[in-house]
Amino acid sequence: MAEQMSDDDERQQSPPSDLDFTSNKARTCIVTGSVSGHTEFQSLYPDQVLENVLENVLHFLTSRRDRNSASLVCKSWYRVEALTRSELFIGNCYAVSPARATARFTRVRALHLKGRPRFADFNLMPPDWGAHFNPWVLAFAKACPWLEKVYLKRMSVTDDDLATLAESFLGFKELVLVCCDGFGTSGLAIFISKCRQLKVLDLIESEVSDDETDWISCFPEGESHLESLIFDCVECPINFEALERLVARSPSLKKLRLNRYVSIGQLYRLMVQAPQLTHLGTGSFSPSEVAGQGDQEPDYVTTFAACKSLVCLSGFREIIPDYLPAIYPICANLTSLNFSYANITAEQLKPIISNCHKLQVFWVLDSICDEGLKAVAATCKELRELRVFPVDAREDSDGPVSEVGFQAISEGCRKLQSILYFCQRMTNAAVIAMSRNCPDLVVFRLCIMGRHRPDHVTGEPMDDGFGAIVMNCKKLTRLAVSGLLTDKAFDYIGRYGKLVRTLSVAFAGDSDMALKYVLEGCPQLQKLEIRDSPFGDAALCSGLHHYYNMRFLWMSSCRLTHQGCQQIARAMPRLVVEVIRSADEEEVYDRVQTLYMYRSLEGPRNDAPKFVTIL
Amino acid sequence: MMMLMMVSLFLTFFFLSHSPLFLNKHQLQRSPNMLGTEHDLNFKETELCLGLPGGSGGGGGAAAAGGGGGGKNEVESSPKTTGKRGYSETVDLKLNLQSKEGCMDLNQNLENGSKEKNHLTAKPPAKAQVLGWPPVRSYRKNIMANQKNNSDEISDRASSGSGGAAFVKVCMDGAPYLRKVDLKMYNSYQKLSDALAKMFSSFTMGSYGCEGMIDFMNESKLMDLLNSSDYVPTYEDKDGDWMLVGDVPWEMFVESCKRLRIMKGSEAIGLAPRAMEKCKSRV
C-alpha cells in the first residue's frame, strides 16, 4: 500500500524534470546520445576522463530533484546526467513527447508516467480523453530496449500495448498499473506468457475487462521469479488451481493481493504455501458457497500465525466478521492495515486494533463510527496515515463519523502525517485541535460530504479550521478543502501555505479573490484542481506568472469563458489550454464547462477527442 | 436595551437562516439549458403523481450505480417488487451506447427515481446527487454497492436457497468477443443497461434511439423500435425461449435468464409477439 501514497510525500521541491529543457535552448541541439552511451561531438572534448568520473559519481544520484539540479550546472553535467538517469518520471504524459524523452535519456531502466487528471476519476470528464500508453511503448521499444520497469497511473493501456511491452523488452521485470484501463485478461495473458523475467505484476484499482481468458495459467512453468502479484481489482474469477501451483513455485513471492473471487478456504491453501509473504490481500475473506456443512474449517489462526513476516494486510472484500479472529496472531506486527472494503462495526474492530501497536497506515470505512476511531487513537501511537472512507457516499446520508472521532485521532496519534477523512459533520475546533496536535501533517484532506456545510456547532464557515492547518502544519504540501468556505480561507492558504504543492477545491469561495490569493501566495503550487467554485477569467489571469511552474490547472463548472481562456492561451504559448465539454454538449455556450491546462514542450496534442478543444 | 435585544434577535435569525440548507441553485446551474426545463418538470412530476405501487419502485439506499456512471445518481430503485407492475410503469432500457456520461442519463435516472419516491411516505424528494460528488472513485462505490447486493443476496439465499452468483454470457452482434456479467451485481434493469452500454461502447454501430424504452404496453411503439436498426437487448430464458429484456420484474428476470444477446431491433422483431404473449399471460 505504500505505493499508493501520493508522490507529494516524496521530497520534491525543485522544478520538476519534465520542463527543465526550456531554460537553455542551446542544450537541446547539442546532445546526440546514442544507445551505446558514447556521445559523439564534432569539436574535441578536452577531458574525457573528467566526464567518466562524473558519470560514475552521478550514477549514485537517485533523487530526481537532485538530478534536475545537477543537469543545470553545465552542458557536460547535463549530458552525463542524461546518460546516467535510470529512472524517468514524467508527471504529465503530454508535457513531453516520447521522442524527446527517449532522445535525451537513452539508458532508462524504469519509466514512470502519469496521464489523466485526478478529477477524471469522479466522472467529471468523458472517457477516452487520452493518456494513451501506445506512443510511449513504441518509442521506448525502439530506443531503450533495456527498459525493465514501467509504472503507469491513470493511463489507457491496450492489450496490444501489453503485448508490445512483453515482446520488446527482453529483461522486463516490473509492471505496475494504477487506475488504468483499456485492457483485459487477454492482454494480461499475452504479457505474462512472454515475460520470462517478470518479478512484479501489480494491478491496482484498474479496470480490467473480462475476456474469459485464464491468464493465471499463462505464467511460464518452472520456478518463477515472481516477487509481487497484485490483482485485487480484477473483477473476474480466476483459475485457482493454477494460482496455487504458481504460488508454490514462487519462493521469492512477498506480495500477494487476491481478488474477491478467492474464498477464505482458498486463501488458507495459498498461505500454507507462502508463509514468507510480507504483503497480503485476503480476497473475499468469506467462504465459498460450495463448502458443505460437514466440512471442517481449516485452522486459519495457525496459518496466519505462521506468516511471521506479514506487515501489510488488505482485502476483506466480502468479509464475514466471524473470521476476523484469524488475524489476531499477526496484528502486533502489522504496519499497514486496509479495512476500507470491510463494513465492520466498532465492536468488531476493537479486538483487532487493540493489538496493532505498530500500525502506521490504516484505511477503514466509517462504519466503525467515532467509537472505532477512539479505539484506533488509543492504541495506534505510531500512526502516520489514516483514511476514513464512507460506506454510503452520498451528500445526505447518515454520518457515522464526525468531529468527535477526528479529534480523538488528533489527540492519540501525534505522529500523523497524512489524513483523508470523509464525514457529514465537522467543527472548526476539531480541525484547529488537529493542527496543533499533529504538527507533522504533510497531507490534509477533509471531505465534508454535504456541500457548503458550515461548522455544525457554531454555524460558522470552516475558514478558521483550514486556516489553522496551513498556519500550524509547517510541512503541509497537500491540501483538500470542503465545507462552507469564504474567501478568507483562501487568504489563509495564500499567506501560510508556502509549501503547498497540491490543492483541491470544491464548492468553495465567494469571489475571484479566493483564487488570486492562492495563485499569488503559493509559490510551490503545482497541481490545482477546482470544481464548482465562483472563479472567473480575472482570477485565471492572476496566475499568469506561475502557470509555467505548475504541472496542471483543472477548473470545472466555474465561471470561465472562452475569451478568458483564449487570453491565457495567447499569453502563454507553452501552455496547452484544453476546454473539455461533456460528451453530448454542443460548442454553443460561452461558459467553459471544464478547463484543463498544463505546460508542455510539444504544443497541442494530436490525439484529442472531439469533445476537447485546444485553444 | 430594546435595540440590543432587537439586534440579537436579528442576528439569531440571520444565523439560523444560514444553517445548512441545501440550495438547488448549483444543481440547476450545472445542467445545460437543453435539460434545464426537463429537470424542472421532473420535480413537478414528483409532487403531483399518484402512481401504483410495485414495478421498479421502492426507494433504495444503495450507494451507487453498478457498472457505468459511478457518481451520477444515487436515487436508486431497490430490488424489491411487490408483484404486478403498474401500467404506468415502464422499464427504461435505454442502451445509451454513445454517451454514457451525458446528462441524458442523469435525467432518466432522476425520472425513475422521482417516480419511485412519489407514493412513499411524505418525505421531501431526496436531493438529486451531483456528478462526481462526494469524490469517491466509482471503483470504490461499485464495490460497496456490490457488497450491499451480496449481503442482500446472502440473506435471500438463506431463506430461498437460490444459487450463488448469476453469471450469464453477453454477446453483441458484431462485437469480436463476448463478455460475462453477474446479474446479481445489479438490482435493476437500468443498472444492467448502463453496465452493458459501458461494456460494448467501443462497438457502437448504431444508437438505441433517444426515446428508446421498451414499452410493453404500447404495441406500436414497440413495433417502431423493432423495425429500426437500433440495438435491443434480448435474453434466453429457462424455457429456451428468446425474449426481449425488460418484460418481467427484475428478480424473475435474474432467475430465468440464461444468457444475453444484444441484437438489432430488426432481428428481434420475431420475438415481439412471444414477448407480448408471455407478458400477458403473466399479467
Q: Which residues of B touch A422 (CB under 8 A)?
A: 134, 136
pLDDT of residue B15: 53
Looking at A108-117, B15-24, B130-139, which range is the least confident one? B15-24
Give me the residue from A233, A393, A532 closest to B64, CB to CB: A393
Q: Which of B26, B29, B69 sits opposite A123 (nearest CB)?
A: B69
Taking the CA of residue B270 and the nearest CA in chain A, the distance in Å comes to: 30
Taking the CA of residue B274 and the nearest CA in chain A, the distance in Å comes to: 32
What was the pLDDT predicted at A400? 94
- Which three cell numbers, joined as nine digits, stand for B221? 411503439
Contact criterion met (CB < 8 Å) for B143 and A557: no
pTM > 0.95:
no
Q: Which three cell numbers stand for residue A102?
A: 527517449
Judge contact between A440 and A478, C-beta under 8 A: no
Q: What is the pLDDT of residues A427-452, one digit of tens each?
A: 999 999 999 999 999 999 999 999 99
Summarize the confidence of residues A182-208 as an average pLDDT.
95
| Closest CA relative to residue A277, chosen from A229, A234, A321 | A229
Please check whether residue A181 is in contact with residue A207, taking contact to mean a CB–CB distance below 8 angstroms. yes
Q: Sign of the CA dihedral B177, B183, B185, B189?
A: positive
Question: What are the pLDDT digits (tens) for A67-90?
Answer: 888 888 888 888 888 888 889 999
Give the three cell numbers for residue A553: 490547472
Which of A173-177, A182-186, B115-119, B131-135 has the weakest average pLDDT? Answer: B115-119
Find which of B16, B133, B198, B201 to mutate to test the A interface (most A CBs within 10 Å of its CB).
Answer: B133
Cα A330 from chain centroid? 28
Residue of A nearest to B132 (CA): A122
| Whole-number Å distance between alpha carbons of A311 and A330 | 8
The conformation of residue B124, written as its DSSP 8-state character, comes to P
Task: Output A243 or A84, whichever has higher pLDDT.
Answer: A243
Report cis status (omega within 30 of 0) of the bond before B134. yes
* Contact residues, chain B, for A393 at CB < 8 Å: 63-64, 71, 74, 134, 136, 140-141, 144
To the question of domain B164-272 being in CATH 2.40.50.140, the answer is no
The confidence score (pLDDT) of residue A66 equals 87
Maximum distance among all Cα pairs of chain A, rounded to whole angstroms: 84
Q: Which residue of B has its CA nearest to A260?
A: B143
Listed in sequence order, the DSSP H helices in A72-125 are 75-84, 98-104
Identify the band that residue B222 occupies on the pLDDT scale cut at 50, 70 and 90: low
CA pair distance A391, B63, nearest whole angstrom: 8
How are beta strands A527-531 and A502-506 bridged, if at all?
A: parallel
The phi and psi torsions of A225 (rounded to 5 degrees) equal -90, 5
Nearest to A212 among B26, B69, B180 (CB): B180
Collapsing DSSP to helix, strand or coil, B250 comes out as helix
Q: What percent of chain A has pLDDT over 90?
A: 77
In the predicted model, what is the mean pLDDT of residues B130-157? 78
Nearest-by-CA chain A residue for B20:
A453
- In the Cβ-directed half-sphere of A372, how many Cα atoms lie within 13 Å? 23
CA A370 to CA A410: how far, in whole Å? 13
Which pLDDT band, with edges at 50, 70 and 90, does A586 fall under?
low
The pairing of strands A149-153 and A87-90 is: unpaired
Beta carbons of A124 and B131 less than 8 Å apart: yes
Q: Does B139 touch chain A (CB under 8 A)?
A: yes
The pLDDT value given to residue A11: 39
For residue B116, the Cα-to-chain-centroid distance in whole angstroms is: 11
Give per-residue pLDDT as tens, B61-109: 333 333 333 333 333 333 343 444 444 334 444 444 443 333 334 444 4
Position B128 confidence tier, pLDDT thresholds 50, 70, 90 = low
Nearest to A507 by CA among A452, A431, A570: A452
Say what the ipTM of the complex is: 0.83
The 10s digit of each residue's pLDDT in A379-428 is: 999 999 999 999 998 888 888 999 999 999 999 999 999 999 999 999 99
Shortest Cα–Cα distance, B67 to chain A (Å): 11
Shortest Cα–Cα distance, B126 to chain A (Å): 8
Phi, psi (degrees; rounded to nearest 5) at A614:
-100, 120
Q: Where are the domains of chain B?
A: 164-272
Question: B150 to chain A: which residues are within 8 Å by CB?
Answer: 318
Min Cα–Cα distance to chain A from B70, Å: 7
Poorest-pLDDT segment among A154-158, A360-364, B14-18? B14-18
Q: Residue A198: how many CA atoms within 13 Å on its side-chain side?
A: 27
C-alpha cell at A176: 505496475
End-to-end CA distance of chain B: 74
pLDDT at A535 over 90: yes
DSSP state of A484: S
- Backbone φ/ψ region at A128: left (φ over 0), alpha (ψ -120 to 50), beta: left
Shortest alpha-carbon distance between residue A60 and chain B (Å): 39
